[in-house]
Amino acid sequence: MAKMEVKTSLLDDMIGVGDMVLLEPLNEDSFINNLKKRFDHNEVYTYIGSVVISINPYRSLPIYTPEKVEEYRNRNFYELSPHIFALSDEAYRSLRDQDKDQCILITGESGAGKTEASKLVMSYVAAVCGKGAEVNQVKEQLLQSNPVLEAFGNAKTVRNDNSSRFGKYMDIEFDFKGDPLGGVISNYLLEKSRVVKQPRGERNFHIFYQILSGASEEFLCKLKLERDFSRYNYLGLDSARVNGVDDASNFRTVRNAMQIVGFMDHETQSVFEVVAAVLKLGNIEFKPESRSNGLDESKIKDKNELKEICELTGIDQSVLERAFSFRTVEAKQEKVSTTLNVAQAYYARDALAKNLYSRLFSWLVTRINESIKAQTKVRKKVMGVLDIYGFEIFEDNSFEQFIINYCNEKLQQIFIELTLKEEQEEYIREGIEWTHIEYFNNAIICDLIENNQTGILAMLDEECLRPGTVTDDTFLEKLNQVCATHQHFESRMSKCSRFLNDTSLPHSCFRIQHYAGKVMYQVEGFVDKNNDLLYRDLSQAMWKANHSLIKALFPEGNPAKINLKRPPTAGSQFKASVATLMKNLQTKNPNYIRCIKPNDKKAAHIFNEALVCHQIRYLGLLENVRVRRAGYAFRQPYEPCLERYKMLCKQTWPHWRGPARAGVEVLFNELGIPEEEFSFGRSKIFIRNPRTLFKLEDLRKQRLEDLATLIEKIYRGWKCRTRFLLMKKCQVVIASWYRRYSQQKKYQKIKGSAITVQSYIRGWKARKLLRELKHLKRCNEAATVIAAYWHGTQARRELKRLKEEARRKHAVAVIWAYWLGLKVRREYRKFFRANAGRKIYEFTLQRLMQKYFLEMKNKMPSLSPIDKNWPARPYLFLDSTHKELKRIFHLWRCKKYRDQFTDQQKLIYEEKLEASELFKDKKALYPASVGQPFQGAYLEISENPKYKKLKDAVDEKIIIAEVVNKINRANGKAASRIFLLTKNNVLLADQKSGTIKSEVPLGDVTKVSMSSQNDGFFAVHLKEGSEAASKGDFLLSSDHLIEMATKLYRTTLSQTKQKLNIEISDEFLVQFKQDKVCVKFIQGSQKNGNIPTCKRKNNRLLEVAVP
Ligand SMILES: Nc1ncnc2c1ncn2[C@@H]1O[C@H](COP(=O)(O)OP(=O)(O)O)[C@@H](O)[C@H]1O
Ligand SMILES: [Mg+2]
């Protein structure tokens, strides 16, 4: 097992010494070395008893994580390495468990880490105290009050980028369970002079820069602001931007925090309006104006800014303008108005700005308190956290530093009171012998400042209230008179000659030797700042504002509440509030965090020994250690002491039954610790030397190791035994389960086997039965078969016998018949030979013929002349008869067919017959014409009025009327003509007009020529010398060539009794006028479709391309 890394004691693995009380040897060097060593190892916290010294690391260390919080939670103070959480835990627990109100006092110079420490304490307490929705809200509000107050009250100074410019004391209230209920914040004197002027290298309060960087354009516009810092006189420019600070994002954080704390939207808006107004006030400038009466007067240079401020704050412009020019003094019911010169006007302006801002700040604190105050009236436990501005020494120190440092003096005072004094008093209380330890008590310095008669503050007040001219110088004079003899007061003018020649001390200054060092104060401004005067005219003007927040900030401006009494001065106010604070702190259990600044550069890792040494000295830390050690370095009540070391002695280990003190006595005697090393107090044991404590711790550590071994041994034995017992128990359980399981298995197996055996036997039995039954069945079947066979055999035998018998009978009959035949033939042989053979032959022949004709009658084919069917020939000897019969039948049916024809039909068939004789097998066009009926008159000459003229010209019967193409003999082109054939003539007429172009008597037609191919060309040859022949032969083409040629032939034959010569040839001559032209038919391409084309090739050749 890996060793857990838990530090069990402050003394384990410590870098240097965690508690200075244990430092050996104790002197300034070792003290600083110890701090430095720890600081170098990132150990920034060191104890002096219960006081925590914190050195600012100036960088974030990983020691504030939630895990760390858990580590320190509910642990003893000395158990873990020193940490601010340990102190917080101690304080919280004694508040919760012991009902003691606590206060955490955080002190140190400016920039030493006080504010951070206070936040760490608060966040630790928030983390460890109760949880729940309501509690969490309270916590959140308490924590979120910080960013708001820091934005308005912190600023960058040369010492610290986030220096608190106000003092803050926060009481966190808890209920009896330790759950937070709420809180109350008190603020102390804001350094308001910063609003109007900042020292070199410093900034105004953060909020001004945050608004200008972070607000949206729209919001800025609403506030009448511009983003540019340089536009505002009140903003110190030389360090407007701070490294590592994001003003814009901080602005969002602040707004968010305001929301969480419970600011209403209109409140937030008003707050920012006031901030904007303050910023803009700085831009108001004045110029001198001389009056005739010699009085100086001032006038506002540019009224624009004033106008905007008035719009923003709802103040009447003229009222504010007047308030900047006049001052009204009231004395004894008399009002006197005086004009303000330029300097006074500027003073008034700045006073207004400072007052507005500081009152706004106080209002914010009051408003936050309203939100975070506890809601119940039950008794509360309180933990106060004080984070006040640290001791400050600047080049120029003014009233503010004086006040701040006074406050620190008071805190040192309370530290001394409670630690050094209290410690020593404890010894007396406990009845321990004690010799007093000397330490520097700063009560004398406090007295110098706050003494009611001779204190500096009292003197200042006196000056301020005195009638007559009062200046800072008169104040200094007074100081010189009264305080000159005080040890801690130094002034050039004082009667004491010590400083007369001290050139480092200017005349206008005085110097105080504070506990933390000498500080020189510039007397200039003390009176004014203490007076904190705001002309009544201005407060009245503010009260008149139409802006509820501003009105509320200046209640004294209300004329109804006019109070002629002077308000208390700033100094006396502060003194009073500090006194209240001190009284408050004294009622609580103090816890100290003493912050130390390791260097002046705000830099990490630098440890300036001289600087640290100075702080250690004035903080009196060494004395602190000494007091704790002089007598006794260590003390502890008896009970926890016995509890811690009881294992070192047999009597007290493991239990001591008697009183704790007796137990400790026994223990220390047993250990042999010399008597001078310890003392018994009333309730505590006091140990003088740290070494004794170390020894005790060493022994304890050793003993703890032994005990650990012992515990480990016993634990191991116990563990092994428990494990063994457990295993044994387990084994029994497992075994019983296993046995049960295996028996179950076995039983199931046997059961299974029994069933199997049973089923086999049953099966076997059943099969045996089946076999027997089958055998029986087969026997029966066999018997049946055998019987059947037997019967069959019997039957067959019988059949055979019967057949045999029949055969025998038949044979007998045949033999008998043969025998008879033989006998008859023998008897009739002489007659048969002459006639019987011929007769049988003829008879047979007759019978066959008869059969043939009878069969033929049933097999006759149809009467269609084209039916080729004829029954097959049955007998060879009838072959010729059969053919003849076929011929006769065909002729007969043809006749039958012809007999049906009318005369007209006969004519048509005759014509077709003629055509067949003329063209069949000669002209390729012929077969296509067979199916076409010959119509002759394709053109309805007599009916169609178009041909009336033609009809009138021809009075004979028209045999053919058809359109043909006449081929032009010159070029082979075709022209349509009407072709008419009458009984005596052939006529060609124009197709359109019907005019007759040629008329040829049939007797003049000698020949018709055509090709053997599939074309419709034909030439009509005319008799030479006839009238018609003068133009030459006709070359025509027609779709009905076959019909035309046939009809021409028949008509010629009937008219002239001469056969017309029809020539079928692929090359023939045609007479054209005087020439003979050869018409040649060739196989042409299919280019022109199926139409033959005619072309004149030369004088002698006309070529017809037939597809
Ligand atoms: N514990 C810390 N861890 C890291 N940085 C610290 C710590 N304490 C202080 N600082 C740094 O020092 C700066 C000054 O600390 P702050 O608490 O404001 O000083 P003070 O309030 O004493 O004037 C802080 O802004 C922070 O940067
Ligand atoms: Mg601070």
Minimum-distance ligand 1 atom for the alpha carbon of 163 = 23
| Residues forming the active site | 110-111, 115, 160, 163-164, 390, 392
Element of type H or E holding 249? helix 247-261
Q: What is the pLDDT of residue 901?
A: 85
pLDDT of 8 over the 60 cut: no
CB of 157 within 6 A of ligand 1: the answer is no
pLDDT of 435 over the 80 cut: no
Helix or strand or coil: residue 227? coil
pTM across the whole model: 0.62
What mean pLDDT is reported for the chain? 87
Q: Which two tokens stand for residue 342?
A: 């330029």
Among the listed residues 431, 423, 938, the one whose alpha carbon sits nearest the alpha carbon of residue 634: 423
Give the mean pLDDT of 718-740. 94
CB of 663 within 6 A of ligand 1: the answer is no
Q: Is 325 exposed, middle or buried (0-12, 13-18, 19+ CB in 10 A)?
A: buried
Pairwise pLDDT comparison (973 vs 36), residue with the higher score: 36
Question: What tens digit of pLDDT does each residue of 522-544 get?
Answer: 998 899 888 887 888 898 899 99
Q: Say how far apart CA 365 and CA 75 lie, in whole Å.
A: 35
Q: Whose CA is nearest to atom 3 of ligand 1?
A: 60
Q: Say how far apart CA 153 and CA 147 lie, in whole Å.
A: 10
Q: What is the pLDDT of residue 83?
A: 94
| Percent residues over pLDDT 70 in the chain | 96
Helix or strand or coil: residue 317? helix
Give the model's confidence band at 1: pLDDT under 50 very low, under 70 low, under 90 confident, else very high.
very low
Which range (216-220, 742-746, 995-999) has the least confidence?
Answer: 995-999
Ligand 1, pocket-test mutation among 42, 43, 56, 401, most atoms within 8 A of CB: 56
- 492, 506 Cβ separation under 8 angstroms: yes
Q: Say how far apart CA 351 and CA 357 lie, in whole Å.
A: 10
State the Rg of the chain over Cα: 75
**What protein residues have CB closer than 5 angstroms to ion ligand 2?**
114-115, 164
Give the mean pLDDT of 741-762. 95
- 210, 189 Cβ separation under 8 angstroms: no
Q: Say how far apart CA 1053 and CA 917 lie, in whole Å.
A: 15
Among the listed residues 167, 357, 146, 371, the one whose alpha carbon sits nearest the alpha carbon of residue 254: 146
Which range (30-39, 729-738, 901-910) has the least confidence?
Answer: 901-910
Q: What is the pLDDT of residue 7?
A: 43
How many whole angstroms from 194 Cα to the centroid of ligand 1? 21
pLDDT of 10 over the 60 cut: no
Question: What tens digit of pLDDT does each residue of 1067-1079 get?
Answer: 888 887 777 888 8
Which residues are CB-neighbours of 586 under 8 A, at least 6 positions away?
414, 417, 418
How many whole angstroms from 111 Cα to the centroid of ligand 2? 7
- 52, 87 Cβ separation under 8 angstroms: yes
Q: Whose CA is nearest to atom 8 of ligand 1?
A: 113
Give the model's confidence band at 332: pLDDT under 50 very low, under 70 low, under 90 confident, else very high.
low
Pairwise pLDDT comparison (395 vs 809), residue with the higher score: 809
What residue type is 526 in one-letter code? F
Q: What is the pLDDT of residue 579?
A: 92
Q: Say how far apart CA 671 and CA 644 lie, in whole Å.
A: 14
How many whole angstroms from 60 Cα to the centroid of ligand 1? 10
Q: What is the pLDDT of residue 3?
A: 34
Minimum-distance ligand 1 atom for the alpha carbon of 112 = 22
Give the model's confidence band at 215: pLDDT under 50 very low, under 70 low, under 90 confident, else very high.
very high
Q: Whose CA is nearest to atom 15 of ligand 1?
A: 113
How many whole angstroms from 84 Cα to the centroid of ligand 1? 14
Give the model's confidence band at 486: pLDDT under 50 very low, under 70 low, under 90 confident, else very high.
confident
| Percent residues over pLDDT 90 in the chain | 36
Question: What tens digit of pLDDT does each residue of 590-637 get?
Answer: 899 999 999 999 999 999 999 999 899 888 888 888 877 766 767 788
Q: Whose CA is nearest to atom 27 of ligand 1?
A: 58
Q: Say how far apart CA 785 and CA 422 lie, in whole Å.
A: 141
Q: Whose CA is nearest to atom 16 of ligand 1?
A: 113
Pairwise pLDDT comparison (183 vs 493), residue with the higher score: 183
CB of 392 within 6 A of ligand 1: the answer is no
pLDDT of 498 over the 80 cut: no
How many whole angstroms from 562 Cα to the centroid of ligand 2? 38
Q: Which two tokens stand for residue 605?
A: 């890792």
Q: 1067: how many CB neighbours lie within 10 A of its CB? A: 12
pLDDT of 2 over the 50 cut: no
CB of 615 within 6 A of ligand 1: the answer is no
Pairwise pLDDT comparison (12 vs 375), residue with the higher score: 375
Say what the alpha-carbon torsion angle 295, 296, 301, 303 is, to the nearest 10 degrees. Answer: -50
Q: Say how far apart CA 272 and CA 994 lie, in whole Å.
A: 121
- 68, 74 Cβ separation under 8 angstroms: no
How many whole angstroms from 58 Cα to the centroid of ligand 1? 6
Element of type H or E holding 1008? strand 1005-1010
- Nearest ligand to the CA atom of 118: 1
Question: What tens digit of pLDDT does each residue of 171-182 get?
Answer: 999 998 889 999
- Nearest ligand to the CA atom of 615: 1
